[in-house]
């Protein structure tokens, strides 16, 4: 199931003839959904149109074997796409494995979902014969990736990349992974709005990863200043970028929730185009 994509549809049909002038996007590493009630409470209170989520469990013991993306989508009335990042070998059983990955929840239909598995990976997570399969060691199969989805909002096609870059090793590995996202995004025409959001596991401020994306034509949703820390340890690791006929405004780090070890990051998108592009 490593490359499998799961989908569900729970959102009410949107009025395609009258799309909203702004789209609220919430980017959040939900720490596997271990505090699921608080995650739901926060999302319900914010009423986003699109949720870009990382560290989303499926069938893991630590989250009561629940399919977290499906639970969130069904109870909050979103459509969703879930892509597997890792099989969590300490969280499941041979006949009933557990997974974690990325999920995009949206009020609109999502088309052509796919996984962009990065060509370079850390070997930190691979199981080793001399280590017991305990949760503390986090033995895994799979690898870091981007979940890519396309949404049609009114008559505009919006492309979303949901990233979770490697947390181990140095920035050159993360820059390589990010370069594959930028290269992949070039398949879309310049008049197609593209959003890149997720947990980039950045180490430094200013970040070379943010600088790389800005150099590739993306706008930082924080509008040129560094957003407040997005982790409780004081680090800024979660980001939203946009490219094409699209602008970001009202970006905010929500430090008033303890539903995860990451704080949610929200921004408002305004689409400048009205036609579906090829």
- Quote the CA–CA distance of 100 and 111 in Å, as a whole number: 22
Our measurement of the distance from residue 28's CA atom to the centroid of its chain's CA atoms, rounded to an integer in Å, reads: 7
Give residue 98's Cα distance to chain centre: 19
10-residue mean pLDDT profile of the chain (278 residues): values are 88 73 95 97 97 97 96 97 92 88 96 96 67 60 94 91 93 96 97 97 85 95 77 90 95 94 96 59
- Return d(Cα 269, Cα 242) in angstroms, integer: 9
Tokens of residue 158, six digits: 């919006």
Cis peptide, bond prior to residue 144, ω within 30 of zero: no
Chain centroid to Cα 59, Å, comes to: 19
Report the pLDDT value the prediction gives residue 45, as an integer from 0 to 100: 97
Whether residue 81 contacts residue 104, with contact meaning beta carbons closer than 8 Å, is answered with: yes
Q: CA 155, 156, 157 angle in degrees (round to 5)? A: 125
Beta bridge partners, 157, equal: 152
Whether residue 181 contacts residue 196, with contact meaning beta carbons closer than 8 Å, is answered with yes
pLDDT of res. 132: 56
Please tell me the distance from the alpha carbon of residue 261 to that of residue 112, in angstroms, as a whole number.
31
Q: Which domains does the chain have, with CATH numbers?
A: 5-271 (3.60.10.10)
Measure the N-to-C terminal CA separation of the chain; round to a whole number of Å.
31
pLDDT the model gives residue 128: 55
Check: CB of residue 138 under 8 Å from CB of residue 168.
no
> Which residues touch 250 (CB under 8 Å, ≥6 apart)?
266, 267, 268
């Amino acid at each position: 199931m490593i490359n499998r994509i799961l989908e569900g549809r729970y959102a009410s049909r949107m009025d395609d003839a009258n799309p909203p002038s702004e789209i609220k996007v919430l980017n959040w590493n939900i720490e596997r959904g271990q505090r699921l009630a608080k995650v739901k409470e926060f999302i319900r209170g914010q009423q986003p149109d699109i949720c870009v989520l990382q560290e989303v469990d499926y069938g893991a013991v630590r989250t009561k074997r629940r399919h977290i993306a499906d639970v969130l989508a069904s109870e909050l009335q979103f459509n969703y796409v879930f892509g597997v990042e890792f099989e969590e070998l300490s969280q499941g059983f041979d006949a009933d494995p557990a997974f974690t990955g990325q999920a995009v929840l949206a009020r609109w239909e999502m088309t052509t979902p796919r996984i962009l598995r990065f060509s370079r990976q850390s070997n930190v997570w691979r199981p080793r014969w001399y280590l017991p399969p305990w949760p503390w060691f986090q033995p895994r199969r799979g690898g870091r990736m981007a979940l890519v989805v396309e949404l049609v909002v009114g008559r505009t096609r919006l492309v979303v990349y949901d990233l979770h870059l490697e947390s181990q090793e140095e920035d050159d590995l993360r820059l390589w992974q990010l370069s594959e996202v930028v290269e992949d995004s070039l398949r879309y025409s310049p008049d197609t709005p593209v959003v890149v959001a997720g947990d980039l596991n950045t180490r430094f401020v200013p970040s070379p990863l943010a600088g790389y994306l800005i150099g590739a034509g993306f706008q930082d949703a924080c509008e040129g200043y560094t957003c407040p820390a997005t982790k409780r340890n004081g680090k800024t690791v979660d980001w939203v970028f946009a490219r094409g006929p699209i602008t970001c405004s009202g970006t905010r780090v929500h430090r008033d929730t303890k539903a995860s070890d990451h704080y949610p990051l929200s921004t408002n998108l305004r689409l400048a185009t009205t036609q579906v592009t090829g």
